[in-house]
Amino acid sequence: MQRVTIVGSGFAALTAIKTIRSKNKSIEINVVSPKAEFHYLPGSIWIPSGIREPDDLIIPLGPFFRRMRVEHHLAEATGLSGDGRILQTTDGEVENDGLIIASGGRFIKKLPGIENAITPCEGIAATMQIRDRLRELDSGVIAIGFSGNPKEPSAMRGGPMFEFLFGIDRQLRLEKRRDRFKLIFFTPAEKPGQRLGPKAVSGLIQEMQKRDIKTHLGHKMVEFTATSVVTEGGSFDADLILFMPGMTGNQWFDNTELPRSSGGLIKADANCRVEGMSSVYVAGDSGSFPGPEWMPKQAHMADLQATAAAKNLLAEFKGETPSETFKVELVCIVDSQTSGMLVARTENKNIVMPNMTIFHWLKRLFEWWYLRQYR
């Protein structure tokens, strides 16, 4: 019986499991991750306002693993043999005939004083911290921003920061205390949201102006302090700082011979196969893939890559040449608690639809639909 090992239990990992099991009922699947849980981070934008509680977004995976006949190893990956056939973990070695790496990315925390900022996409705990800090503040300045990995343009996640920005603005208005706060959006980019497409940039700036959100754009970050954001273009006071740095590869990659991009991610081809390795694939935030610079690091893209990776691995097992590729597309709803802006981008099209209440409810409906498969 052939054995597949999947590293991770996020979007890409779970999609790879479903894809493999739908094609092959008998193959052995081993999953290595620190917890048998799925954290639905797209919904964490609603934790500060109370629309969502942590338990709504943390899904125990025991029932799903049993349905899929998956053996879960409660461990962290620590290394990999040169041929990829043995994964080293904190709980010993796991052998495989095929490997899919879907362990996510790691935020670059090199900026001086970054411990003074909260990074929302680090997890549910981070968004709970935002919720608690907002409750504590009676007034002040809230600074929200992001940057990228200069060596890997696609290794960034800016979209959620717009959602936290607009969501917090709306929350304070509903609580009738927006007039006591100043909101500032900052990023080293001169035109925020470029990866969402040219049409999105003007729409986002107009939305900020409409909401009386100040901007500090186009200046390289220098440091954070407990009470300020410092850039090469000046500094400003801040009582609460939310910041999303660029991304790089997991630390355990350093203990392997996996090929790395200049930005630290695993180099893969258009079939999600790790360059120069047999039956080793990567999907989601861990990988560096050929394609446009705006290729998103988002759940939808991870799902598409994981589907391709799983199908190609099974093709290799059959002695066939992997041929499955993935479509590069960005689809998101930039939510603000009661309404949302739909943004879609492919290599040929860029669609931006204005804030509408229906998009907020579509985002919530999609969350329900997506999570029901794992409950």
Q: Both tokens of residue 82?
A: 């040169």
259: amino acid identity, one letter:
P
Question: In angstroms, rounded to a whole number, what is the distance separating the alpha carbons of residues 229 and 240?
Answer: 10
Q: Residue 141 phi/psi, 5° resolution?
A: -110, 130
* CB neighbourhood size of 154 (10 A): 25
Rounded mean pLDDT, 86-95 = 98
Residue 27 has pLDDT above 90, yes or no: yes
Rounded mean pLDDT, 24-51 = 97
Question: In angstroms, rounded to a whole number, what is the distance separating the alpha carbons of residues 142 and 374?
Answer: 36
Say which range, 142-146, 157-161, 280-284, 323-327, has the weakest mean pLDDT. Answer: 157-161
pTM of the model: 0.95
CA 212 and chain centroid, separation: 28
pLDDT at residue 157, rounded to an integer: 87
Map the chain to HEC letters: CCEEEEECCCHHHHHHHHHHHHHCCCCEEEEEECCCEEECHHHHHHCCCCCCCHHHHEEECHHHHHHHCEEEEECCEEEECCCCCEEEECCEEEECCEEEECCCCEECCCCCCHHHCECHHHCHHHHHHHHHHHHHCCCEEEEEEECCECCECCCCCCHHHHHHHHHHHHHHHHCCCHHHEEEEEEECCCCCCHHHCHHHHHHHHHHHHHCCCEEEECCCEEEECCCEEEECCEEEECCEEEEECCEECCHHHHHCCCCECCCCCEEECCCCEECCCCCEEECHHHEECCCCCCCCCCHHHHHHHHHHHHHHHHHHHCCCCCCCCCCCCEEEEEECCCCEEEEEECCCCEEEEEEEHHHHHHHHHHHHHHHCCCC
Residue 193 has pLDDT above 90, yes or no: no
**Cα separations (Å) of 22 from 13, 68, 369?**
14, 9, 19
Reported as a pLDDT band with limits 50, 70 and 90, residue 197 is: confident
Burial class (CB in 10 A: 0-12, 13-18, 19+), 369: exposed
Cα dihedral angle (64, 67, 73, 75), rounded to 10 degrees? Answer: -10
The pLDDT tens digits for 45-86 are: 999 999 999 999 999 999 999 999 999 999 999 999 999 999
pLDDT at residue 2, rounded to an integer: 95
The pLDDT tens digits for 313-352 are: 999 999 999 999 999 999 999 999 999 999 999 988 999 9
Burial class (CB in 10 A: 0-12, 13-18, 19+), 208: buried
pLDDT at residue 342, rounded to an integer: 95
Burial class (CB in 10 A: 0-12, 13-18, 19+), 361: middle
Residue 194 has pLDDT above 90, yes or no: no
Residue 207 has pLDDT above 90, yes or no: yes
Rounded mean pLDDT, 32-53 = 97
